[in-house]
Structure 1
Amino acid sequence: MIVRCVRIISPATRAVVSDHPAMRIGAEYPVLEVLTAVDRVLLRIPDPVDSPPGAFDSSGLWDASMFAVVSDRVPACWVASLDEGALSLAPREWQRPGFWEDFFDQVPVAVAEYDRCKAEILQQC
């Protein structure tokens, strides 16, 4: 799935802003995960490719209302998960309890799972 940014909503304040270092209006981004929250839908977007060399390869959750769908092709590795009322469409490996905590703590197994699944998703975009 590929989306185009049509407006920027600050992840911190949820206000519409004119710019953000990780997002550009008009740019297209692959979607790594779709996650519903209580009152909104979030898309996991990889960090910009122009991140500084040696930077931790991460991703962020962005409000889905910021984007228009360019390609609705769903990656084959995505599965649906329902947990405490939240629906996630993502690789099964990312849906295990504690995965994102392990990933951001840079636990090697979680980082390797993220890298492998991200590469598979990007290949299918």
Structure 2
Amino acid sequence: MIVRCIQIISPATGAVVSDHPAMRIGAEYPVLEVLAGNDRVLFRIPDQAGSREYYDSPGLWNAAMFAVVSERLPTCWVAELKNGNLSLAPREWQRAGFWEDYFDHVPAAVAEYERLKAAILTES
């Protein structure tokens, strides 16, 4: 799934802003995960190379920021409905604690992220 940024909504304030260091209006981004619940939809977008000191820190962004360019869904995505929230992502990323392990640089989680991100990007 590929999306194009049509507006930037600040993750901190929820306000529409003119720019953000991690996002550019008009740029296209692969979607790694879709989360829906609590009256909002979020897309997990990987860091773009060069946007920071390199350590991929995939962020969650309001889906209202984007227009869908390619509707093709990665074959590794599965749907999970838990506590009224829907997740479309690789099963491995849906386990409790995965993202905490990833952001804590646990080697197994980082390796799992890199492997599945590569699979998603190949299919995008």
Letter of the 2:66 counterpart:
F
2-side partners of 1:75 and 1:86: how far apart? 20
**Aligned ranges 1:1-125 → 2 under 5 Å:** 1-52=1-52, 55-125=54-124
Secondary structure of the structure 1 residue equivalent to 2:50: coil
The root-mean-square deviation of aligned C-alpha atoms, in Å, is 0.9
Report the TM-score when normalising by structure 2: 0.97
In 1, the alpha carbon distance for the partners of 2:42 and 2:52 equals 25
Identity %: 73
* Structure 2: gaps (5+ residues): none
Normalised by the length of structure 1, the TM-score is 0.96
- Once residues 51 and 9 of structure 2 are traced to their aligned partners in structure 1, the CA distance between those partners, rounded to angstroms, is 20
**CA–CA distance in 2 between the matches of 1:87 and 1:112?**
25
- Deviations 1:32-75, CA, capped at 9 Å, x for gaps: 0000130200000001122345x211200000000000000000
Aligned mates of 1:48, 1:7 — CA distance in 2: 17
| Equivalenced residues, count | 124
2 CA distance for matches of 1:115 and 1:7? 28
